[in-house]
């Protein structure tokens, strides 16, 4: 498994200028390549390959007066910029064919973008000096704030400048196979929410930190200060950075909370099960700000990759599984309940349930079945949770090859067209 380790950089004034030059050159090559491909598409010509673009936009462009300054940065940075564009097109076309979620077509980059990045591979001959500094070609030795050692030799490093004017080095390393944790005995189901960020099947409740809500007042003041500045002035540029830093502090605190909680769950349990929430749908409701503040998707992603890294079991329960309607004791489905009902009593076994704890227990029960590859049409107690797709009687099936309606004398052939057209 490939992992990323990110550390803060402290470049000097001259190194900041050199990094800005590298960001600009990579951006220009990216935009030139995008323009060349869009021109070819408009003319009905095949897309130029990455090798042809490299020769035209990098090798030959360095000998032209209007692009001679491309030689002031490492050629690997420019090559990786072309690879980024190629990956963007590949992801776009895979989204159109259904191989991955849909995403927009590649767009031109701007020097005013909040995030700038360049990547150095092994061909760039970057290195870590004996003084634990990051040596980059045509930039120099940059001081790194090491928070922990790298587990192995990194294959590449990406230098990132974010909106808050901070610089980071992101190293790509291969994980150590010996990092598998000792086998644990527990299994836990996690029910994510807003009042409590997570409710576990063992009864524990983790309160929601609400990082954005707590910082909202300071953010509002910073944004009001920004709105009073004259556009194009230096004071406005400083105010933009102050707003970005306020947001960065909130995001960093949320990320730290997610990392600590996900690591704790992975270390304590052999298997972790969560519900596959429809976050994209929830952010369209009046709860959008609270849903974004919780950051469920990031937390679940951390659980998933940490489980794969440390030899744990991880599974997602289908979002349509009625975890709040089933009794975790007897398995009877008691029907939907309004959100203001936090406790309820099963009419069959008279068990009093906490709504969230009961949902987490049902997620653990169903997650065990999902992880084992069993059918999801019944819960652990044999109760039906959703109707099964039953084939239509032969007399009512829609024929595929015959256009006329089926009659008593002629039996239709083929299968019923019950899927989505085009799939």
Our answer to whether residue 275 is catalytic in this structure is: yes
Judge contact between 142 and 5, C-beta under 8 A: no
Cα gap 118→26, rounded to integer Å? 7
Cα gap 21→109, rounded to integer Å? 15
Active-site residue, from 32, 84, 187, 275: 275
Active-site residue, from 32, 84, 187, 191: 191
Measured CA distances, 98 to 102, 103, 297 (Å): 7, 11, 21
Cβ-proximal residues to 135 (8 Å cutoff; 6+ apart), any chain = 126, 127, 128, 129, 141, 142
Our answer to whether residue 409 is catalytic in this structure is: no
Our answer to whether residue 191 is catalytic in this structure is: yes
Cα gap 83→217, rounded to integer Å? 42
Cα gap 385→317, rounded to integer Å? 13
Angle at alpha carbon of residue 358, lines to 353 and 361, rounded to 5°: 145
Residue with tokens 């700000």: 289
Compute and round to an integer the Cα radius of gyration of the chain: 28
Structure-token pair, residue 231: 């556009």
Name the burial class of residue 32, with classes exposed (0-12), middle (13-18) and buried (19+) by CB atoms within 10 angstroms of its CB.
buried
C-alpha closest to that of 381 among 335, 329, 346, 336: 329
Active-site residue, from 32, 84, 187, 356: 356
Residues tagged active-site: 191, 275, 356
């Amino acid at each position: 498994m490939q992992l990323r380790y990110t550390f803060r950089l402290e470049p000097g004034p001259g190194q900041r200028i050199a990094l800005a030059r590298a960001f600009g050159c990579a951006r220009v090559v990216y935009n030139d390549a995008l323009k060349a491909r869009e021109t070819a598409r408009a003319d009905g010509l095949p897309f130029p390959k990455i090798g042809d673009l490299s020769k035209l936009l990098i090798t030959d462009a360095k000998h032209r007066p209007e692009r001679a300054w491309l030689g002031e940065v490492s050629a690997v940075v420019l090559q990786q910029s072309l690879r980024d564009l190629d990956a963007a097109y590949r992801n776009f076309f895979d989204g159109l064919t259904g191989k991955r979620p849909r995403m927009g077509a590649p767009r031109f980059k701007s020097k005013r973008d909040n995030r700038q990045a360049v990547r150095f591979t092994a061909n760039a001959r970057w290195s870590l000096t004996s003084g634990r500094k990051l040596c980059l070609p045509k930039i120099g030795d940059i001081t790194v704030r090491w928070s922990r050692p790298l587990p192995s030799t990194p294959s590449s490093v990406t230098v990132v400048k974010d909106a808050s004017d901070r610089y980071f080095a992101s190293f790509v390393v291969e994980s150590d196979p010996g990092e598998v944790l000792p086998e644990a005995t527990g299994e836990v189901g996690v029910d994510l929410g807003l009042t409590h960020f997570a409710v576990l099947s063992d009864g524990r409740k983790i309160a929601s930190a609400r990082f954005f809500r707590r910082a909202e007042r300071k953010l509002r003041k910073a944004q009001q200060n920004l709105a009073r500045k004259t556009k194009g002035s230096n004071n406005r540029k400083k105010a933009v950075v102050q707003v970005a830093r306020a947001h960065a502090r909130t995001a960093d605190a949320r990320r730290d909370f997610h990392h600590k909680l996900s690591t704790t769950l992975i270390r304590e349990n052999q298997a972790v099960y969560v519900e596959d929430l429809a976050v994209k749908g929830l952010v369209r409701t009046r709860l959008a700000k609270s849903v974004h503040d919780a950051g469920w998707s990031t937390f679940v992603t951390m659980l998933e990759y940490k489980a794969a890294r440390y030899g744990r079991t991880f599974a997602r329960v289908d979002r349509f599984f009625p975890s709040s309607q089933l009794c975790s004791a007897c398995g009877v489905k008691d029907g939907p309940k309004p959100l203001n009902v936090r406790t309820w009593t099963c009419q069959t076994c008279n068990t009093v349930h906490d709504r969230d704890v009961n949902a987490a227990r049902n997620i653990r029960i169903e997650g065990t079945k999902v992880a084992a590859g069993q059918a999801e049409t019944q819960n652990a107690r044999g109760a039906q949770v959703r109707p099964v797709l039953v084939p239509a009687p032969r007399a009512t099936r829609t024929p595929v090859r015959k256009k006329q309606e089926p009659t008593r004398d002629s039996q239709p052939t083929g299968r019923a067209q019950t899927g989505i057209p085009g799939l």
